[in-house]
Structure 1
Amino acid sequence: MKVVVTGGAGFIGANLVRALLAEPGITSVVAVDDLSTGLLENLDGLPVPLLRGTILDPDLLDEAVAGAASVVHLGALGSVPRSVDRPLPSHHANATGTLSVLEAARRHDVGQVIVASSSSVYGANPVLPRQEGLRPVPVSPYAVSKLAAEAYTIAYAACYGMQVLPFRFFNVFGPRQAAHHAYAAVVPRFVSAALAGQPLQVHGDGRQTRDFTYVGSVTDTLVDAVLRRVGVTDVVNLAFGARVSLLELIAELEEIMGRRLDVVHAPARPGDVRDSQANSDRLRELFPTVRPTPLRAGLEQTVAWMSGRVLAGQ
């Protein structure tokens, strides 16, 4: 079975590639990435061809998906603040890019397309936990682009009979997540600052909550979906119902690192959602064997990986 991973040199993509390669039923994995946010080093030593280029290039996608049984579409331009600063690139990468991938899959009669959306689509809807049937109220260009991506995916299932599985990811974290750029996610930013002995910058009061999901739990679910050919006609939350504030996250890091961490507060950012928590009933129904990694265990593995990079001078 050939599987294509767009965004395959990125954080989630590179972890997924490793998990797919460990499965004997998967004969080949192809990564597609323009390296705008992904890193070549994430695929070092792996027997995986990297097709370097944009998912907006139909010729590149034709080369990638020909003969594929599944496409896992993770390629995207992430970050709410990035989309607030520059909305059009987020739209082109996330909405038009997803449409481009779906078209390539249709041209080559790919059996399954799994698409990464985001919990950000729930936006200003105040209901917690977030259940898939809630009305989306996106409050950032990034969220709008992801809502468009999942809507295109569902439409392709309806119009062309394509087997699809759109997931809404919730604050995924873990090894290989970039820390040193302006739009880095909160967990790698906090861990990097803590390891460097610098203050942790918190936007707002720190009481905003997130459903942090360890990347290993995400890749376990994606691999299971590929192997069992899971398809749906709606969206599925990929998170397990935790609700952790940033201050609670910092307290966990303090216990792991065995010392108090300095914190500085900055203004809240436009487009950020105050609270986020998944209803995981649908996920657990579809994937009964997948288990969440506890926050502490996931943070310990993340700290250990980032510490190793610091010791290696990276």
Structure 2
Amino acid sequence: MGYQDLEFANDSVFLITGAAGFIGSNLVEAVLDLGYEVRGIDNFSNGRKENIEEFINNENFNFIEGDIRDYKTCLKAAEGVDYILHQAALGSVPRSMREPLIYEDNNIKGTSNMMEAARQNNVKKFVYASSSSVYGDSKELPKEEGKEGQVLSPYALTKSVKEEYAKLYTKSYDLECIGLRYFNVFGRRQDPFSEYAAVIPKFIKILKDGNQVEIYGDGEQSRDFTYIENVIEANLKACLADSKAAGEAFNIAYGERFTINKVYDLMCEKLEIEREPIYAPERPGDIKHSLADISKAEELLNYDPDWDFKSGFAEAIKWYKENI
């Protein structure tokens, strides 16, 4: 259980892309806490400098301000690296519906650049962020790897293409790639200020500012919300996984679901606020229900998540109370 007791070779070097982002900065912190060398790269298009301020003076942390869309930058960043945790990407389904071309450039070209840089530098494992959005219009619950539907957004399409590249690089170039299909990750450092902020930090900020939350649809859409600690565990265990996991993608979640209405009610309770939400039309590209079957990750990655939604949610609320 957990990841605090995981061991790598003493001289292991990790490259974390998107290091100043929500998930990336948490991975930086976790790997540094384990005592290994971390190289981080970010262009601050999504990431925030304050997310990595506390690590800058750590002798085991080396930060590169750079863009993964530039192959030479990727090639240099991957020199001497054992493991790459590739988190850099543009998120947000709604934004991808409005600006599809920048998703192609960032998420697909950026990832293929990073994979090729990993191949050229003989990296041991390339672990990358995929998404539950690849299940598209599939109505089957729980979501199971190999039973995907048609994708519903450019964002989801870029994640699906990433997975195809990963299969190719694993089979044709012997680069061991492992995809992690994140299900609605939340926790400390998740940006509440962006126009495209995720639902939990966005709602918290709106409520704390004294405003009414807008919920799209009837609020009965459900999600398998996944606390950040579970995602850290999955990334690090993927680095140690047997070669038979290479080329595969895995659901990373807890395996339980909550409606948006339920999350909102819990949030109001934790913040001690009574305020009715406003309901708005559904958004194009959104998936109605999400619940993960995590048995494949349990079997091949030894994934064993400690944090259910309510325990993670309590920690997240505590962090946001102190930091926004």
TM-score by length of 2: 0.91
Letter in 1 for 2:45: S
Distance 1:40 1:294 in 2: 29
Task: Pick one of 47, 53, 78 that aligns with 1:65.
Answer: 78
CA drift of 1:148 comes to 0.4
Q: Are 2:134 and 2:148, in contact at CA under 8 Å, matched by a contact in 1?
A: no
RMSD: 1.4
Partner of 1:77: 90
Within the candidate set 285, 295, 298, 1:281 is matched to: 295
Q: Secondary structure at the match of 1:3?
A: strand
Tell me how far apart the structure 1 counterparts of residues 185 and 122 of structure 2 sit (CA, whole Å).
30
1:90 alignment counterpart: 103
Q: Counterpart of 1:2 in structure 2: which amino acid?
A: V
SS in 1 for 2:126: strand
Q: Which residue identity does 2:206 align to in structure 1?
A: A
Which of 2, 18, 32 in structure 1 is aligned with 2:41? Answer: 32
1:244 aligns with 2:255: no
Determine the C-alpha separation between the residues in 2 that align with 1:97 and 1:136: 25
What residue number does 2:194 align with?
181
Q: Percent identity over the alignment?
A: 35
Residue in structure 2 matched with residue 15 of structure 1 by the alignment: 26
Give the 5 Å matches for 1:1-314.
1-24=12-35, 26=36, 28-46=37-55, 47=58, 48-227=61-240, 231-288=245-302, 290-310=304-324
Q: Is the 1:213–1:292 Cα contact (8 Å) retained in structure 2?
A: no
Tell which deviates more after alignment, 132-141 or 290-299: 290-299
Q: Are 2:234 and 2:301, in contact at CA under 8 Å, matched by a contact in 1?
A: yes
Q: Deviations over 1:208-243 (max 9, x none)?
A: 011100011111221232355664232111112111
3-state SS of 1:117 partner: strand
Alpha-carbon displacement from aligned partner over 1:192-213 (angstroms, at most 9, x marks no partner): 1122221111011100011100
Match of 2:5 in 1: none
- Structure 1 equivalent of residue 7 of structure 2: none
Unaligned runs of 5+ in 1: none
Native 8 Å contact 2:13 2:83 kept in 1:
yes
1:289 is displaced (CA, Å) by 5.9
Contact 2:20 2:48 (8 Å CA) reproduced: yes
Indicate the larger mover: 282-291 or 168-177: 282-291
**Equivalent residue, structure 1, for 2:3:** none
Report the Cα offset of residue 45 of structure 1.
2.1
- Worse-superposed segment, 207-216 or 279-288: 279-288
Spell out structure 1 runs of 4+ moving beyond 6 A. Answer: none
SS in 1 for 2:289: coil
- Deviation of the 1:257 alpha carbon: 2.0
Q: Does the aligned pair in 1 maintain the 2:224–2:258 contact within 8 Å?
A: yes
Counterpart residue identity of residue 29, structure 1: V
Q: Deviations over 1:229-266 (max 9, x none)?
A: 66423211111211111001112112222332320111
d(CA) in 2 for partners of 1:200, 1:299 = 18
Distance 2:235 2:28 in 1: 10
Offset of residue 287 of structure 1:
4.0
Measured after TM superposition, the shift of residue 151 of structure 1 is 0.9
**Pair 107,242 (structure 1): closer, same or farther in 2 beyond 3 Å:** same
Offset, 1:93 = 0.8
Q: Distance in 2 between matches of 1:136 and 1:34?
A: 33
Distance 1:44 1:227 in 2: 29
For 1:37 and 1:150, locate their aligned partners in 2 and report how far apart those are by CA, in whole Å: 22
| Counterpart Cα distance in 2 of 1:82 and 1:259 | 30
Q: Secondary structure at the match of 1:177?
A: coil
Pairwise CA distance, 1:136: 3.3
